[in-house]
Amino acid sequence: MLLHYLNTTTTTGPQVLRIFSVGATDGGDTFYAELRLQDDGTLTLATCNSSLTFSGLDLNEDQWHHLAVVHSKPNALAGLFQASVAHVFLNGKLRHTGRLGYSPSPIGKSLQVIIGTPITCARISDMSWTLRSCYLFEEVLTAGSICFMYILDRGYRGLFQDTNILQFVPNQACRGGSKAILDSLETDLALTSNSQRGESGNKQGNPRTDRSGMVWDFERLGYLSSQLSGRKLIFAFDGTSTEAFPASGTLSMLNLVDPLSAAASPIGGIPRFGRLHGDVYVCKHCTIGETVRPIGGQAIVLALIEVAETNDMLHTALMLLACAQH
């Protein structure tokens, strides 16, 4: 399962954004898995023996998108009688499903994962894109767990193994589109497993209402978060960088998944670092609180609240205060 937060910008001509690929370390042209996006919103998933194309994803430029791809391999007992299926989730919601052949890892070959455009496919282009975080799970994730990851939003930095992960749910994420996705998940569950839910399925959870009139269903959010607990990861990159390798001077990013931790996949061979090549740089994370401190800190934010003349201005100032507090 692959998860991305991405933001793209293009200027001229048709462009192809290569997001993710798996190939041999010898740098050949053969890719065992690939994910690429065209500027018209067409997303292509490809393996050695098949490909799957989806259109109409509505990926707007200069806007963050939460993209998750789940590819399930056939069950060993089912053999050739079970299809390998790929699911594409955009902004927490399932958008497309299709059959995609599964490519087993080649025996005796070392593999490398490339986030971005491989050197063999590099071309001069005006396209630029920003990656907030990237996770590769060994296991298939449910639609509910992907929705919860989207609700956590870009501000979360971790491996989804926190004891009290609900504390990281931002206020602004529990409304509007996120709430609609949660409601649709509840509807789908009712349609597919109504006979198994019994009395527990009729509970309304443990709602809590804050002063904004927003209703929080912590029981439902807790159930979705539990589906992430214990899921094994291969890598997780969020921009945490390390010093350059002395020999080559190449910058690197730290894999948040420690190979010896409980969150790491038991398959082995987990990389500790990811190296940066080409026209790429790391943007340092900076909180709003750190930004306003040199110019007056909380006093500036409180002054904005005091002079707010409209509801929108007041709402913006209060949101700024909440973000600065965190």
> How would DSSP label each residue in 160-206?
S--TTGGGG--GGGSSHHHHHHHHHHHHHHHHHHHHHHGGGGG----
Alpha-carbon distance of 227 to 158, in angstroms, equals 16
- The residue among 113 and 103 whose pLDDT is bigger is 113
Q: Which residue has the higher pLDDT, 285 or 260?
A: 260
Instruction: Determine the Cα–Cα distance for residues 13 and 280; give it in Å rounded to an integer.
Output: 21
By CB atoms closer than 10 A (0-12, 13-18, 19+), residue 113 is middle
The pLDDT mean for the chain works out to 76
Say what the pLDDT of residue 32 is: 86
What tens digit of pLDDT does each residue of 86-105 get?
Answer: 999 998 889 999 988 877 77
Percent of the chain with pLDDT over 70: 74
| 230 Rama sector, left if φ>0, alpha if ψ -120 to 50, beta otherwise | left
Q: Dihedral through CA 163, CA 232, CA 145, CA 18, nearest 10?
A: 130
How far is the C-alpha of 278 from the C-alpha of 195, rounded, in Å?
55
Reply yes or no on whether the pLDDT at 301 is more than 90: no
Distance between CA atoms of residues 187 and 127, nearest Å: 39
Give pLDDT, residue 188. 60
Domains of the chain are 2-163+229-285 (2.60.120), 288-326 (no CATH)
CA torsion 3-165-315-206 (nearest 10°) is: 120
When pLDDT is averaged across residues 251-279 and rounded to a whole number, the result is 83
Across the range 165-184, mean pLDDT stands at 70
71: β partners: 86
Q: What is the pLDDT of residue 4?
A: 58
pLDDT at position 247 is 56
Residue 29 has pLDDT above 90, yes or no: no
Please calculate the CA angle 61-66-71 and round it to the nearest 5 degrees. Answer: 120
DSSP β-bridge partners for residue 271:
none
CA distance 316 to 183: 27
DSSP 294: G
pLDDT tens readout for residues 234-250: 888 887 776 655 555 66
What's the mean pLDDT in 15-29? 80
Between CA 266 and CA 137, with CA 81 as vertex, the angle to 5 degrees is 25
Q: How confident is the model at residue 18 (pLDDT cuts 50, 70, 90)?
A: confident
